[in-house]
């Protein structure tokens, strides 16, 4: 049987599970949208159900939930400035300003289209280039990973563009907070204030909930509704035109979706790297090579497309090492591994010959899920955007209660709720005094990862710092990092010299 | 004229809170790793030193602004009279209460009480019946979806235990 026949058969088989896929999409949107919940948690909760299903159906369910949760995390990030997961932490940078301008529906449409197209495209690319992609993980050692992290952390400098000192203070404070916990080599407790709960480091969900959700709830009560009133004093109302406009904007920027989602795919392939790194890196690169970098952070569609396309590109990336090498690229992929092993699936290249319905089926399930997702969710963007018109006297307490409890869920420590509240106060002070909470969060997320890889590299080289420039791929990445930081400045200077106004 | 001048002066007291917290936290952090192995120190000393340096630059900038009379040490950007009128302090109090009480009374009852009280404070006690209804629907909806349907690990108390007994 040739490949096209196999793929057609797998496609028909996958689409026949539409009755599983569609309800799972809505479940995924909910669990992705509530901080503290995730596809991984939900799959664990529903593990008995998943194991009871036949393997194909179980995989379709898990893959769909994974993709939908990733997309769902962007919805509250856009509408109420609350990323559902750390992977959507870069989404509100431009998504939320669009909502405040009354373009929430348009922003959702952009998010849905770029997520779906990004996910769909990377699924196809992953399928075609799987043998090559599977080797990426082997080439990415600690040195290379340090440079990848620095790509993400350099976003702090961009955020700091308006007030460099304040941006750097916020970013480095985040990095210090991210360093709390035991060190990775000798497990020496550092900066924990004596709390055992902090020995594993600062948990991400309470930090996310506090910095974004709780602080935002305390800010929005100044206004009656989230959305700003238009010039004539009326509140903008949602209409279908906004959805179509969002689709048009996204399709017009198809190239942008393509290359930012490929960043997500490559980062997703690396075990241990995740959607948060991918979305920060994609946002930073998108801004660096934009002709209008000054528009980023003000509600610029490209600033929304980049993180959404990238974090959905990660989903297919994580499947590559799972299927080809049996190494899960993330938490959800690890649970999929358990379910597949329960059903006796053997991993490796032979999987695609012995059980093509499983190997190709997972990617096909992803492709079908993205296709059905865009068709089912896009029409709902009009109704979802009404969240921005709910009076804040009702919305703010709801945000606080549900997100604080979301902070409790992952570890079941009451301490995490207090921690989320503490981060909320920090976030509130930051917002009121002109410090960017996203810069703090980037530090909290990427700081510990950077330290881990940094120490690993130093340990391997007996403390020789020149190890950072010892690999060919690492050096290429260093040059790329330097270029991505310097080129925009050079381009901007050239533009100013030639007297060409920014578009 | 004098009044206009006073209004145009930037209040930087609030802006100093985060750098001061940053410096204090960094000093504390350094004190916890002073006698630790180099692996525990190297990265944080680097990051902490940069933070101290940037905070130092910020303090210097503030000092220059204060000396030139362009700024004062007021906290107007952080605390305002509007915080009282909008009910922000009330919301903060109910939020702290929510965190303290949820362990004892469980998700559903505490969420209902928190939502009701917070909404009453923010709406200045308007439409109390409607507020109570919304609070009850949200709290019960949360219980039904997250605890009853998905058996999520929410804090449990009297109501959750009672319902568990009733529903078997």
Task: Choose the most confident range, by mean pLDDT, from A68-77, A325-334, A383-392.
Answer: A68-77
Which phi and psi angles does B154 have, rounded to 5°?
-85, 155
Q: Are residues B90 and B150 in the same domain?
A: yes
> Please, which residues have CB within 8 angstroms of residue B99's CB and are 6 or more apart in sequence?
A404, A414, A417, A418, A421
For chain A, give the percent of residues with pLDDT over 90.
24
Q: Are residues B105 and B127 in the same domain?
A: yes
Contact between residue A319 and residue A333 where contact means Cβ atoms under 8 Å apart: yes
Q: Are residues B118 and B140 in the same domain?
A: yes
Last residue of a domain, one of B72, B92, B121: B72
A418 vs B contacts (CB less than 8 Å): 99
pLDDT at position B27? 96
- DSSP SS3 for A70: helix
Q: Are residues B86 and B159 in the same domain?
A: yes
B118 vs A contacts (CB less than 8 Å): 396-397, 400
d(CA A328, CA A316): 12
- Count of structural domains within chain B: 2
Question: Minimal Cα distance from A179: which residue of B?
Answer: B44
pLDDT at position A143? 87
pLDDT at position A30? 81
Q: Is the pLDDT of residue A501 over 50?
A: no
pLDDT at position B1? 44
Tokens of A470: 């010892």
Planar angle of CA A184, A190, A192, nearest 5 degrees: 120
Contact between residue A209 and residue A407 where contact means Cβ atoms under 8 Å apart: yes
Report CB contact under 8 Å: B58, A166: yes
d(CA B61, CA B82): 29
Instruction: Among A171, A397, A456, pick the best mutation site for testing chain B contact (most B Cβ within 10 A).
Output: A397
Tokens of A181: 């916990």
Residue B113 lies in a domain: yes
* A421 vs B38, B99, B111: nearest CB: B99
Q: Are residues B100 and B150 in the same domain?
A: yes
Q: Are residues B91 and B156 in the same domain?
A: yes
Report CB contact under 8 Å: B58, A401: no
Q: What is the pLDDT tens value at each position of chain B, 168 positions in all?
A: 444 555 578 888 999 999 999 999 999 999 999 888 888 888 889 899 999 999 999 999 999 999 998 888 888 888 887 777 788 899 999 999 999 999 999 999 999 999 999 999 999 888 899 999 999 999 999 999 888 887 778 889 999 999 988 887
DSSP B118-144: HHHHHTTT-SHHHHHHHHHHHHHHHII
Last residue of a domain, one of B72, B91, B106: B72
Scanning A428-457 for CB atoms below 8 A from B yields 429-430, 432-435, 447, 450-451, 454-455
Q: Is the pLDDT of residue A131 over 80?
A: no
Planar angle of CA A84, A87, A92, nearest 5 degrees: 65
- DSSP SS3 for B95: helix
Last residue of a domain, one of B29, B52, B72: B72
Contact between residue A239 and residue A383 where contact means Cβ atoms under 8 Å apart: no
Instruction: Among A405, A409, A436, A458, pick the best mutation site for testing chain B contact (most B Cβ within 10 A).
Output: A405
Which phi and psi angles does B71 have, rounded to 5°?
-145, 160
Q: Are residues B133 and B156 in the same domain?
A: yes
Tokens of A74: 């962007």
Q: Are residues B45 and B92 in the same domain?
A: no
CA distances from B118 to A69, A116, A227, A243, A426 (A): 30, 38, 21, 34, 21
Lowest-pLDDT range of A186-200, A326-340, B44-58: A326-340
pLDDT at position A141? 81
CA distances from A160 to A172, A297, B52 (A): 12, 11, 17
DSSP A354-393: H-HHHHHHHHHHHHHHHHHHHHHHGGGHHHHGGGGGS-HH
Q: Are residues B89 and B17 in the same domain?
A: no
CA distance A446 to chain B (A): 13
d(CA A295, CA A187): 44
Tally C-beta pairs within 8 A across A and B: 180
Q: How confident is the model at residue A502 (pLDDT cuts 50, 70, 90)?
A: very low
* B43 vs A192, A218, A454: nearest CB: A454
Helix, strand, coil percent content, chain B, rounded in steps of 5: 75, 0, 20
Tokens of A301: 């569609």
Q: Is the pLDDT of residue A130 over 80?
A: no
Residue found under tokens 């490209």: A302
Q: Please write the tens of the pLDDT for every residue from A70-109.
A: 888 888 889 888 887 878 888 999 999 998 888 888 999 9
Residues of the domain holding B21:
2-72
Contact between residue A96 and residue A114 where contact means Cβ atoms under 8 Å apart: no
Planar angle of CA A484, A447, A417, nearest 5 degrees: 130
Average pLDDT over residues A462-486: 86
pLDDT at position A204? 86
Residue B77 lies in a domain: no
Report CB contact under 8 Å: B39, A185: yes
Quote the mean pLDDT of chain A: 84
Q: How confident is the model at residue A275 (pLDDT cuts 50, 70, 90)?
A: confident
pLDDT at position A287? 87
Q: Are residues B68 and B116 in the same domain?
A: no
Tokens of B8: 């145009």
Residue B38 lies in a domain: yes
Q: Please write the tens of the pLDDT for every residue from A20-30.
A: 899 999 888 88
> Please, which residues have CB within 8 angstroms of residue A436's CB and are 6 or more apart in sequence?
A159, A160, A166, A167, A170, A430
């Amino acid at each position: 049987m040739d490949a096209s026949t196999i793929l057609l058969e797998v496609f028909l088989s996958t689409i026949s599970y539409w009755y599983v896929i569609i309800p799972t999409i809505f479940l995924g949107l909910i669990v992705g949208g509530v901080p503290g919940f995730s596809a991984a948690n939900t799959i664990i909760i529903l593990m008995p159900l998943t194991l009871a299903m036949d393997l194909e159906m179980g995989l379709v369910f898990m893959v769909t939930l994974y993709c939908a949760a990733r997309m769902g995390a962007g919805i509250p990030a856009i509408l109420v400035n609350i990323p559902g997961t750390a992977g959507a932490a870069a989404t509100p940078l431009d998504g939320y300003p669009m909502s405040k301008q009354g373009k929430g529906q348009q922003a959702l449409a952009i998010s849905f289209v770029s997520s779906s197209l990004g996910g769909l495209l990377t699924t196809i690319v992953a399928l075609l280039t799987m043998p090559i992609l599977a080797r990426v993980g082997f080439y990415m050692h600690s040195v290379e990973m340090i440079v990848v992290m620095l790509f993400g952390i350099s976003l702090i400098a961009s955020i700091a563009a308006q007030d460099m000192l304040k941006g750097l203070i916020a970013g480095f404070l985040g990095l210090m907070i991210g360093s709390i916990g035991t060190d990775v080599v000798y497990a020496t407790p550092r900066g924990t204030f004596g709390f055992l709960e902090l020995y594993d480091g600062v948990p991400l969900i309470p930090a996310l909930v506090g910095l974004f959700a709780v602080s935002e709830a305390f800010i929005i009560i100044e206004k009656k509704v989230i959305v700003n009133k238009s010039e004539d004093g009326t509140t903008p109302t949602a209409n279908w035109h906004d959805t179509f406009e969002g689709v048009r904007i996204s399709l017009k920027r198809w190239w942008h979706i393509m290359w930012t989602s490929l960043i997500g795919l490559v980062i997703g392939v690396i075990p241990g790297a995740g959607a948060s790194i991918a979305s920060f890196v994609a946002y930073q690169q998108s801004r660096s090579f934009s002709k209008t970098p000054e528009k980023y952070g003000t509600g610029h569609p490209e600033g929304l497309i980049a993180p959404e396309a990238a974090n959905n590109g990660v989903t297919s990336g994580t499947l590559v090492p799972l299927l080809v090498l049996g190494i899960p690229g993330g938490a959800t992929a690890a649970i999929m591994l358990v379910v597949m092993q329960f059903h006796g699936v053997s991993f490796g290249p032979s999987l695609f010959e012995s059980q093509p319905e499983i190997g190709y089926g997972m990617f096909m399930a992803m492709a079908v899920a993205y296709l059905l997702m865009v068709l089912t969710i896009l029409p709902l963007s009009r109704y979802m955007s009404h969240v921005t018109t709910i009076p804040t006297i009702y919305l703010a307490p709801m945000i606080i209660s549900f997100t604080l409890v979301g902070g409790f869920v992952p570890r079941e420590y009451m301490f995490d709720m207090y921690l989320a509240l503490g981060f909320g106060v920090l976030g509130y002070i930051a917002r009121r005094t002109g410090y960017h909470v996203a810069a703090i969060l980037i530090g909290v997320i990427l700081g510990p990862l950077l330290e881990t890889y940094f120490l690993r590299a130093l340990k391997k080289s007996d403390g020789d710092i020149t190890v950072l420039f010892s690999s060919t791929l690492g050096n290429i990445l260093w040059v790329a990092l330097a270029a991505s930081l310097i080129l925009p400045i050079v381009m901007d200077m050239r533009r100013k010299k030639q007297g060409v106004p920014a578009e | 004229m004098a009044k206009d001048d006073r209004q145009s002066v930037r209040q930087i007291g609030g802006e100093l809170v985060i750098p001061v917290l940053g410096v204090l936290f960094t000093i504390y952090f350094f004190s916890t790793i002073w006698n630790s192995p180099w692996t525990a120190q190297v990265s944080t000393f680097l990051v902490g030193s940069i933070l101290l340096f940037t905070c130092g630059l910020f303090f210097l900038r503030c000092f220059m602004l204060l000396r030139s009379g362009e700024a004062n040490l007021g906290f107007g950007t952080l605390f305002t009279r509007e915080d009282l009128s909008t009910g922000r302090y009330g919301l903060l109090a109910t939020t702290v209460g929510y965190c303290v009480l949820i362990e004892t009374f469980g998700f559903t009852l505490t969420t209902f009480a928190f939502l009701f009280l917070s909404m009453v404070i923010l709406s200045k006690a308007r439409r109390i019946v409607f507020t109570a209804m919304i609070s009850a629907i949200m709290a019960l909806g949360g219980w039904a979806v997250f605890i009853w349907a998905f058996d999520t690990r929410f804090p449990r108390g009297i109501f959750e235990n009672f319902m568990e007994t009733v529903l078997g």
